[in-house]
């Protein structure tokens, strides 16, 4: 199969290119940007690849081409021809070999988001670049005490991460529990967004949209539009939900059903928490139990106010997206519960007591300031670093600088050096008028304080939202691995524009 889609589809269009305004009604009927999407089919799940005897060997071929999206054929990017790519089911202690083949027109690489594995060599090395036509063999060794949970993989090539993920490159990783949770059914739900033209190719994205963080016209579940999930009353389902959207926040509701959150990212609560809604910033995952009640319920994402560009005409409660949703949000899936009631299941086993770094001595305190400034030349006085390097590698939010501690990403500069084994406390401070979901590779973060208020119970995440003009304090234990990796904003347009830093543990 030859690559068929044009690289130009991914290249920056002019401001306002393809800026067809589609109202909420259009969105709900699935006609974002004229693509004749079709919804309402039964949920399909990505191919499942299971490790056996501690090993999994996978080939992932990243390529443009024809792929099924929202019930139609489209021209997008995908791993192995399907969107999302295959789900990798792993266990602690596994050795996983992924052979990544780059059939794209641009360099790419692979990141295993959230996995606690080495960032060096051919493990989860964010600095690798795989050129078009080349392959790279990754090998990940999961420690025996690797936490169970929901993870995912996606490209991480600085400058094109947003385009490549928006274009369709992502897949789920599940690390299985040692003690299974009794459920009637498990599902993997990868939520992503994309904008397609009437002809079915990826729509151009304007510089303005990149600045705010692009949001796609179609919000997909496993590449489908509003799929149907069937269950019987009383059944308990386990949904592993991934927010693979480039910039869109998800505020999920499933009214009329009973929801319990086992945890977020790799973090697990000691016992499941009853919830009415689940907020997932880009990159976050939820491990959710749904106990089915008779009737038809709609899984929706409600509008999230993630701030706006101060003083500009953009803004509103959808982060300034081109496709404002109504107050009821966007329907993502239909949960159809009918039939004879199911017998009750055994209770959910309680989880190990989560680790709590608040009882440990902190070896260093740091502050990371996430800032946006006007102008190519860093108009803000607090911004020292030149934008040359950052913008050169970026995809061009040309009118705005995106920095951490005044500097845009430079792969040749280590911004933060930590001692292996240290426990550090970081203050993540956001001086900008938009939220930034802050992500650190390899080591999860314990949230200890939000907007000046202490968090009482241990909450672990690897993407932590830092609201506009606010701050969050986290603790991090730099266990097990040394090497260089990154922290960044998971609004991937911001990351590509420079809001990323290099950290070295040694």
Rounded Cα gap, residues 225 and 69, in angstroms: 8
Which segment (27-35, 142-150, 173-181, 482-490) binds ligand C2O by CB under 6 A? 482-490
Rounded Cα gap, residues 416 and 418, in angstroms: 7
Q: What is the pattern of x (binds ligand C2O, CB under 6 A) and - over residues 105-144?
A: ------x-x-------------------------------
Q: Closer to ligand C2O by CB, 238 or 285: give it.
A: 285
**Sign of the C-alpha dihedral, residues 323, 328, 329, 335?**
negative
Note whether 420 and 478 are within 8 A (CB): yes
Judged by CB under 5 A, the residue of 491, 502, 503, 505 near Cu ion is 491
Rounded Cα gap, residues 229 and 207, in angstroms: 37
Q: How far is the CB of 164 from Cu ion (least distance, A)?
A: 14
Judged by CB under 6 A, the residue of 439, 473, 475, 484 near ligand C2O is 439
Q: Closer to ligand C2O by CB, 65 or 119: give it.
A: 119
Judged by CB under 5 A, the residue of 309, 489, 492, 502 near Cu ion is 489
Rounded Cα gap, residues 255 and 276, in angstroms: 7
Number of residues written out for the chain: 506
If you search the block for the tokens 């599902």, which residue do you land on? Answer: 187
- 111-121 burial, b if ≥16 CB within 10 A, otherwise e? bbbbbbbbbee
Contacts of 277 (CB under 8 A, 6+ apart): 251, 252, 253, 302
Which segment (26-34, 331-339, 346-354, 490-498) binds Cu ion by CB under 5 A? 490-498
Q: Site residues for Cu ion, window 452-481 (CB under 5 A)? A: none
Q: How far is the CB of 151 from ligand C2O (least distance, A)?
A: 9
Judged by CB under 6 A, the residue of 147, 488, 497, 498 near ligand C2O is 488
Judged by CB under 5 A, the residue of 154, 210, 236, 494 near Cu ion is 494
Judged by CB under 6 A, the residue of 283, 329, 393, 498 near ligand C2O is 283
| 373 lines the binding site for ligand C2O (CB under 6 A) | no
Residues in contact with ligand C2O, counted by CB under 6 A, come to a total of 10
If you search the block for the tokens 């025996």, which residue do you land on? Answer: 144
Closest CA to 448 of 437, 440, 456: 456
Which segment (4-12, 101-109, 474-482, 486-494) binds ligand C2O by CB under 6 A? 486-494
Q: What is the pattern of x (binds ligand C2O, CB under 6 A) and - over residues 300-339?
A: ----------------------------------------
* Count of other CB atoms within 10 angstroms of residue 13: 17
Which segment (9-17, 95-103, 309-317, 486-494) binds Cu ion by CB under 5 A? 486-494
Q: Closer to Cu ion by CB, 228 or 279: give it.
A: 279
Contacts of 373 (CB under 8 A, 6+ apart): 379, 380, 382, 383, 400, 401, 403
Which segment (113-121, 234-242, 249-257, 334-342) binds Cu ion by CB under 5 A? 113-121
Closest CA to 351 of 445, 275, 287, 284: 287
Judged by CB under 5 A, the residue of 113, 187, 285, 473 near Cu ion is 113
Which of Cu ion, ligand C2O, none does residue 494 bind to, with CB < 5 to 8 Å depending on kind?
Answer: Cu ion
In whole angstroms, how large is the CA radius of gyration of the chain? 21
Tokens for 189, please give them.
């739900």
Rounded Cα gap, residues 130 and 122, in angstroms: 12
Q: How far is the CB of 404 from ligand C2O (least distance, A)?
A: 13
Rounded Cα gap, residues 195 and 191, in angstroms: 14
Q: Closer to Cu ion by CB, 35 or 138: give it.
A: 138
User: Cβ-closest residue to ligand C2O?
Assistant: 113
Note whether 440 and 476 are within 8 A (CB): yes
Tokens for 174, please give them.
């599940």
Note whether 195 and 218 are within 8 A (CB): yes
| 407 lines the binding site for ligand C2O (CB under 6 A) | no
Q: Closer to ligand C2O by CB, 74 or 486: give it.
A: 486
| 253 lines the binding site for Cu ion (CB under 5 A) | no
Q: What is the DSSP letter of 212?
A: H
| 436 lines the binding site for Cu ion (CB under 5 A) | yes
Q: Which residues bind ligand C2O (CB under 6 A)?
A: 111, 113, 154, 156, 283, 439, 441, 486, 488, 490
């Amino acid at each position: 199969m030859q690559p068929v889609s044009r690289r130009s589809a991914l290249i920056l269009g002019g401001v306002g290119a393809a800026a067809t305004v589609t109202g909420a009604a259009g969105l709900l009927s699935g006609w974002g940007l004229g693509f004749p999407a079709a919804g309402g089919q039964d949920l399909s799940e990505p191919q499942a690849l299971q490790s056996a005897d501690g090993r999994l060997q996978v080939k992932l071929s990243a390529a443009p081409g024809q792929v099924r999206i929202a019930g139609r054929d489209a021209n997008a990017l995908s791993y192995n021809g399907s969107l999302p790519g295959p789900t990798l089911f792993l266990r602690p202690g596994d050795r996983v070999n992924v052979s990544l083949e780059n059939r794209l027109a641009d360099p790419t690489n692979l990141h295993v988001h959230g996995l606690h594995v080495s960032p060096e060599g051919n493990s989860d090395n964010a600095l690798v670049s795989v050129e078009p036509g080349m392959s790279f063999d990754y090998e990940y060794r999961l420690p025996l005490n690797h936490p169970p949970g929901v993870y995912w993989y996606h490209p991480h090539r600085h400058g094109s991460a947003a385009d490549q993920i928006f274009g369709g490159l992502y897949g789920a990783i599940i690390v299985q529990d040692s003690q299974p949770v009794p459920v009637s059914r498990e599902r993997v739900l990868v939520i992503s967004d994309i904008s397609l033209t009437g002809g079915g190719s990826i729509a151009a994205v304007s510089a303005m949209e990149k600045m705010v963080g692009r949001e796609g016209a179609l919000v997909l579940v496993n590449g489908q539009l509003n799929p149907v999930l069937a269950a019987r009353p009383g059944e308990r389902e386990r949904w592993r939900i991934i927010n693979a959207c480039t910039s869109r926040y998800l505020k999920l509701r499933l009214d009329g059903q009973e929801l319990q959150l086992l945890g977020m990212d790799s973090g697990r609560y000691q016992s499941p928490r009853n919830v009415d809604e689940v907020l997932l910033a880009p990159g976050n995952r939820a491990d959710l139990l749904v106990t089915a009640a008779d009737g038809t319920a709609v899984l929706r994402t409600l509008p999230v106010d993630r701030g706006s560009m101060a003083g500009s005409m953009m803004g509103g409660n959808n982060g300034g997206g081109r496709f404002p949703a109504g107050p009821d949000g966007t329907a993502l899936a239909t949960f159809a519960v009918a039939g004879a009631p199911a017998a009750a299941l055994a209770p959910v086993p309680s989880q190990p007591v989560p680790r709590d770094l608040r009882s440990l001595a902190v070896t260093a305190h740091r502050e990371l300031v996430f800032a946006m400034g006007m102008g190519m030349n860093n108009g803000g006085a607090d911004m020292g670093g030149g934008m040359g390097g950052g913008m050169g590698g970026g995809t061009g939010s040309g009118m705005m600088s995106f920095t951490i501690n005044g500097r845009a990403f430079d792969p040749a500069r280590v911004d933060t050096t930590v001692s292996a084994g240290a426990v550090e406390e970081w203050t993540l401070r956001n001086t900008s008028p938009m939220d930034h979901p802050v992500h650190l590779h390899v080591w999860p973060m314990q949230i200890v304080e939000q907007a000046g208020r202490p968090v009482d119970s241990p909450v672990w995440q690897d993407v932590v939202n830092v609201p506009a003009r606010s701050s969050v304090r986290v603790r991090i234990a730099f266990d097990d691995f040394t090497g260089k990796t990154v922290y960044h904003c998971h609004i991937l347009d911001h990351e590509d524009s420079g809001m990323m830093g290099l950290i070295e543990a040694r």
